[in-house]
Amino acid sequence: MSAVFITPAEAKALSERNALVVDIRGSDEWRREHISAARSVPLESLNAAAFSADALSETDTVIFHCQSGMRTEKNQQQLQASVYPAKALIVQGGLNGWKAAGYPVITDRRQPLPLMRQVQIVAGALVFGGTLAGASLSALFYIIPAFVGAGLMFAGLTGWCGMAKLLAVMPWNKRAG
């Protein structure tokens, strides 16, 4: 059984009628920005036990969203199973769609950017800088983008990212109060 996709307008209307809104993004993403009515239940901790205190029945509705809709679409079977027998719905476009529709979100700019965005920024800066330095100063600088590319391939193949581990312990990534 495939999940039912709903528009942000439908999600907003249902949330105002006590539907449970669940954000499956990581807790760091949720702390930075989220829909006010949304509960944070990261995808990796999503199972039936995550909703056991809610005693969901077939008359309940749970609305799932992520950042863009890709994670919810990809994991729709897991989402449905986690709230069974309740009805599982997925917001088209996720949080981005919600904001594009003009609905408010709670934003805490004191919270750091999500770790994967930080990795993308640093990796991009290193590749760009290394390429510019290699083209204008010395070909030896091309080792920087080669090293970053190899690190990203390793992270993709193994699931372990050294740059993410390093960035996670940086002072700006300590949780803001």
Which CATH number characterizes residue 96's domain?
A: 3.40.250.10
94 and 9 in a single domain? The answer is yes
Task: Tell me the CB-side half-sphere exposure of residue 38, using CA atoms within 13 A.
Answer: 32
Per-residue pLDDT of the chain (177 residues; tens, 9 = 90+): 557 899 999 999 999 998 999 999 988 889 889 999 899 999 988 887 888 878 888 899 999 999 999 999 999 999 999 998 999 999 999 999 999 999 999 988 877 787 888 899 999 999 999 999 999 999 999 999 999 999 999 998 998 999 988 988 888 887 655
30 and 89 in a single domain? The answer is yes
Only one residue has tokens 């799932």, namely: 64
Examine the fold and report which residue of 80, 107, 134 is the final residue of a domain before the chain moves on: 107
32 and 89 in a single domain? The answer is yes
Please tell me the predicted confidence (pLDDT) of residue 49.
Answer: 81
72 and 145 in a single domain? The answer is no
8 and 84 in a single domain? The answer is yes
99 and 153 in a single domain? The answer is no
53 and 100 in a single domain? The answer is yes
120 and 72 in a single domain? The answer is no
Hey, which residues are catalytic here?
Answer: 66
Here the contacts of 149-158 (C-beta below 8 Å, separation 24 or greater) are 151/123, 152/123
Only one residue has tokens 């307008």, namely: 9
103 and 126 in a single domain? The answer is no
Q: Is 113 exposed, middle or buried (0-12, 13-18, 19+ CB in 10 A)?
A: middle
87 and 17 in a single domain? The answer is yes
Total of domains in the chain: 2
Examine the fold and report which residue of 107, 138, 153 is the final residue of a domain before the chain moves on: 107
103 and 120 in a single domain? The answer is no
Examine the fold and report which residue of 91, 107, 123 is the final residue of a domain before the chain moves on: 107
**Residue span of the structural domain in which 98 resides:** 4-107
Residue 68, Cα to own-chain centre: how many angstroms?
8
Six token digits for residue 88: 């599982």
61 and 146 in a single domain? The answer is no
